[in-house]
Amino acid sequence: MGNLKRNMSVNVVLVEPEIPQNTGNIARTCVVTGSVLHIVGKMGFSIDEKHVRRAGLDYWKDLELYTYASLEELYQKYPEGDFWYFSSKVARNFDKAVYSDRCFLVFGKETAGLPKKLLEANEARSVRIPMQAGQRCLNLSNAVCVGVYEAMRQNSYFHMK
């Protein structure tokens, strides 16, 4: 499956992220959990911006990061990928999914989430994080953290300390 450096890892996929501080926080989560960050499509900022690096601080140098022009490019690189799509607009709770030790957790941009057509095409692999009725959604970096730790829990935390 592709050329990831690790044998086991959670893969975080951000589709068109818009807020540099969120991406910086997600990068930090990826480094401390041994996860890999994949950024797809146009970003609303440059990854060289000080806001991204400040949020990721000393962790940025240790981040395993890949970028892609489109989801199709990511799918071509990892045709056997275990993809899970996170959205507040679907019914299945994230803890009901079974995540492999090389899963890809896909998150949409902050203002719009993942496209409706993508969720419809992947309905059986789309999950949500429960929250109070009438609330929009969690902050993206918090949602990523919830997803990553559930995938890690299901895989015995990849034998981390």
Could you tell me which of 37, 68, 58, 66 has the C-alpha nearest to residue 141? 37
Beta partners for 83? 104
8 A C-beta contact, residue 90 and residue 118? no
Compute CA 140 distance to the chain's CA centroid, rounded to the nearest angstrom.
9
108 is in an annotated binding site: yes
User: Would you call 41 exposed, middle or buried from its count of C-beta atoms within 10 A (0-12, 13-18, 19+)?
Assistant: middle
Q: Which residue has the tokens 């034998």?
A: 159
Contact in structure between 13 and 140 (CB atoms under 8 Å): no
* Residue 6, number of CB atoms within 10 A of its CB: 14
* Annotated binding-site members: 108, 129
* Annotated binding-site members for S-adenosyl-L-methionine: 108, 129
